[in-house]
C-alpha cells in the first residue's frame, strides 16, 4: 500500500463538478448503484462498482462536463434506468464489434456516460481475424 494514496482509493479518481450536487449524487446512486452520502462540507465520495467518483459543487471551480466509460452488468437495464432518471439518450444500446454492448447517455448534470457490458467471447471472435491477418504478413 502506498502511504501517499488514501486507503481504498485508486490512483486516478474522476471528480464531477456539478451545479446540483444532490441531484448528481442521487443519479449516480439510482442509476449505477452507487454508494456513499451527499456531503455539504467536502466532495461527496460515491463508489460505483470498484471505482470511486468524487462529486463537488460549482463555485470555486466551474461545473465541467466529463466523459466516462462505465462497465455494468446489464447495459440495457442501466440505460433504461438512466433515461427514466432524466438522462438524455445519445445512443441506444447496441452490440459493438469489439465485444461490448454499449449505450451512451448524458446525465442531468451534463456528463456523458458510455455504459457497457463486455462479452469476452465476442471480443475474442473480433480479435481472431486481426491476429490471423497480422501473422500472415
Residue 6 counted as domain residue = no
Q: How far apart are CA 31 and CA 15, in angstroms?
A: 18
Structure confidence at residue 50 (pLDDT):
93
- Closest listed residue to residue 110, CA positions, set 58, 74, 73: 58
Residue 82: is its pLDDT beyond 70? yes
> Which domain, by its residues, includes 92?
15-135
Residue 119 counted as domain residue = yes
Helix axes 75-84, 21-32, angle to 10 degrees: 150
Residue 7 counted as domain residue = no
Confidence of residue 58 (pLDDT cuts 50, 70, 90): very high
Cell of 47: 463508489
Structure confidence at residue 120 (pLDDT):
81
Q: How far apart are CA 36 and CA 29, in angstroms?
A: 8
Give pTM, 2 decimals.
0.85
Q: How far apart are CA 113 and CA 92, in angstroms?
A: 12
Highest mean pLDDT: which range of 58-67, 89-98, 126-135: 89-98
Q: pLDDT (tens digit, 9 = 90+) per residue, 91-117?
A: 999 999 889 999 999 999 999 999 999
Residue 73: is its pLDDT beyond 70? yes
Domain count, the chain: 1
Residue 65 counted as domain residue = yes
- Complete DSSP assignment for 9-50: --SS--EEEES-HHHHHHHHHHHH--B----SSS-EEEEETT
Residue 8 counted as domain residue = no
Confidence of residue 136 (pLDDT cuts 50, 70, 90): low
Q: Is 72 exposed, middle or buried (0-12, 13-18, 19+ CB in 10 A)?
A: buried
Residue 64 counted as domain residue = yes
Overall size of the chain counted in residues: 137
Structure confidence at residue 124 (pLDDT):
83
Residue 9 counted as domain residue = no
Which CATH number characterizes residue 105's domain? 3.10.180.10
Amino acid at each position: 500500500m502506498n502511504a501517499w494514496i488514501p486507503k481504498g482509493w485508486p490512483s486516478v479518481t474522476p471528480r464531477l463538478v456539478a451545479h446540483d450536487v444532490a441531484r448528481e449524487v442521487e443519479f449516480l446512486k439510482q442509476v449505477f448503484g452507487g454508494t456513499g452520502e451527499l456531503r455539504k462540507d467536502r466532495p461527496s465520495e460515491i463508489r460505483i462498482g470498484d471505482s470511486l467518483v468524487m462529486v463537488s459543487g460549482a463555485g470555486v471551480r466551474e461545473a465541467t462536463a466529463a466523459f466516462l466509460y462505465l462497465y455494468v452488468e446489464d447495459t440495457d437495464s442501466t440505460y433504461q434506468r438512466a433515461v427514466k432518471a432524466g438522462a438524455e439518450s445519445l445512443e441506444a444500446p447496441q452490440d459493438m464489434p469489439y465485444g461490448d454492448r454499449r449505450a451512451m447517455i448524458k446525465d442531468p448534470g451534463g456528463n456523458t456516460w458510455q455504459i457497457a457490458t463486455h462479452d469476452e467471447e465476442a471480443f475474442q471472435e473480433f480479435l481472431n481475424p486481426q491476429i490471423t491477418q497480422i501473422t500472415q504478413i
